[in-house]
Chains A and B, each alone.
Chain A
Amino acid sequence: MESSEEAAVEKCRVHLRPGTLRDAARATLHLLPCEVLVNRPAPVDRFFTPAIRQGPDGLEVSFRGRKLRGEEVVVPPGLVGYVMAMEEQGEVSMEKDFSEGDEREEQERAEPREALERDFDQFIGAIASFSRFTLWGLETIPGPDAKVRGALTWPSLAAAIHAQVPED
């Protein structure tokens, strides 16, 4: 939903391609304690991964001459992590072009596609999935007080807040 046309943004739907949720390959993720001011390819497997050591109190590595200490964080049960990428405008999706005919018919009976997908809509798809990531702290292990660990407890509280209230 990054668009310069502010007016179009609110109308736009970003369709998440359901098939990509099943097919996404596993990805390795590291959450770093610094802001790298760019989105770009980076040879993580050549520079970073081989330098990770198991220290006395957790994982150790260095990045740009700074010491990092880290630990594995597991995605809470019932959740799956996805890395998603917006499809470029005009990009032709494989799924769009080669939908299996028989399923398509059933699909369209259930939900006419045109009603949901409009010309100005965007598409997003999962390109990878994960069930754990490595959380790094600058010189110290992030530990149980890491903010992101707190954030990971949100889905279980959210479930309670948004559950239907009992009838009178």
Chain B
Amino acid sequence: MDRGGPAGARRHVLLLPEYLKDASKKMKSGLMFVKLVNPCSGEGTIYLFDLCLQQLFEIKVFKEKHHSWFIDQSVQSGGLLHFATPMDPLFLLLHYLRKADKEGKFQPLDQVVLDDTFPNCILLLRLPDLEKLLQHVTEEKEVDKKKYYKYSKEKTIKWLGKKVQQTVSALKTNNVNVSARVQATAFFSGDPFSSDKEEDYVCYAHGLISDYIPKELSDDLAKYLKLPEPSVPLPSPPSKGLHNELLQSLRAITLNLKYECPCTFPAFVFVQGSHVVEKFRDFSRAEPALRCFFPDRRKQQPGSEGGFTSC
């Protein structure tokens, strides 16, 4: 039986909360995917509304290179797996409240949550308990039984601080490895990473929350949490052109690398003697996370191909 169009068509593999299925009994419509502005990146991003349950869901997609699905008697390239998880709408509302704040006055919410590019943002206004939610991030005034709101950075930062706190406890109960050290093994384990410091948790939680807010707010939140300055930016390289380009790219790689097993690093870097390798070698001397790739040549055993196997 061919359900839902031609068998060669694209299929979407999605995990949904089970209660959506039960709630769907009472509804004929009101479940919809729409594109809204991502409060972190500013890009259009997919969200799911359930207007029956009056809930907003975020859609994350699992993507790993070189994967495909067999779904019954068909093959689907890409191997994507989507996750729909409940999302706090305040993160999306904040984007509009902050924008409206540039006018510096109290405004009713329906004049704030407007968007030419993503007109579906008005669906946010249908979510329940908005008045209560908005107390966390706005000052409000009531005139003739109508509420007027104004973004409050102080309240927002405090609210975000609480978000970080509850994320920290969730990270602990979920045994998420938050330490910055290179960890080649599990995402989680029976060992509760007792060596992880409170600061690591706060830092990690701050990073997670930062994926839902603009950079500026993230920086303010870091100050509020008294997090140390990020150590990432390296001194600007003096030269220009390809060299500069390479270093920038290598820095990007390094950032990724810090959190991955060095052995998964693609082998292309090890084309001995190439220009790229030499640049990479120079760079790796300055970057401790990379040193294992290029052990000091003087220490190398004759005939050995370098530090690849020792990682």
Chain A residues with CB under 8 Å of chain B are: 1-2, 9-19, 21-22, 27-45, 48, 75-76, 78-88, 91, 95, 99, 103-104, 107, 111, 113, 116-117, 121, 124-125, 127-128, 144-145, 147-151, 153-166
Taking the closest CB of chain A, its distance from the CB of B146, in whole angstroms, is 23
Q: Are B33 and A162 in contact (CB under 8 A)?
A: no
Instruction: Give 9 closest A-B pairs by Cβ, nearest first.
Output: A160-B170, A85-B4, A18-B24, A158-B85, A165-B162, A150-B187, A30-B70, A14-B33, A16-B31
Q: Is residue B265 contacting chain A, with contact meaning CB distance below 8 A?
A: no
Instruction: Take A127-B4, A157-B174 as given contacts and tell me if A116 and B30 are in contact as well, using a CB distance cutoff of 8 Å.
Output: yes
Q: What CA separation (Å) do A86 and B114 show in the bound complex?
A: 28
CB contacts under 8 Å to A, within B184-200, are 185-188
The smallest C-beta distance from A108 to any residue of chain B, in angstroms, reads 9
Bound Cα distance from A124 to B14, whole angstroms:
12
Asked if residues A37 and B77 are in contact (CB atoms below 8 Å), the reply is yes
Residues of B within 8 A of A30 (CB): 69-70
- Known pairs A35-B77, A85-B9; A16 contacts B32 (CB<8 A): yes
Cα distance A111–B23 in the bound complex, in angstroms: 15
Contact of A41 among B3, B74, B118, B208 (CB under 8 A): B74
Contacts across chains A and B counted by CB atoms under 8 Å:
266
Contact of B73 among A45, A103, A107, A162 (CB under 8 A): A45
Q: Which residues of B contact A21 (CB under 8 A)?
A: 16, 20-21, 24
Report whether B21 and A22 are in contact in the complex, using a CB–CB cutoff of 8 Å: yes
> Which applies to chain A's interface (DSSP): helix, strand, loop or mixed?
mixed
Whether A107 contacts B28 in the complex (CB less than 8 A), given A35-B66, A40-B8, A124-B33, comes out as yes
Q: Which of these, B34, B76, B185, contacts A14 with CB under 8 Å? A: B34
CB distance from A138 to the nearest CB of B (A): 8
16 A-B pairs with C-beta separation under 8 A: A10-B119, A22-B25, A35-B67, A35-B68, A38-B77, A39-B74, A76-B15, A125-B4, A144-B186, A148-B81, A153-B174, A155-B85, A157-B170, A158-B87, A160-B174, A161-B166
- Whether A41 touches B8, Cβ cut-off 8 Å, given contacts A34-B68, A35-B65, A147-B64, is yes
A interface footprint on B74-97 (CB within 8 Å = 1, 0 otherwise): 111111010101111000000000
Contact with A84, one of B11, B78, B174, B176 (Cβ below 8 angstroms):
B11
| Nearest CB of chain A from residue B13's CB, rounded to whole Å | 6
With beta carbons under 8 angstroms apart, the residue of A11, A32, A111, A149 that contacts B79 is A32
B58 sits at the interface (CB 8 A): yes
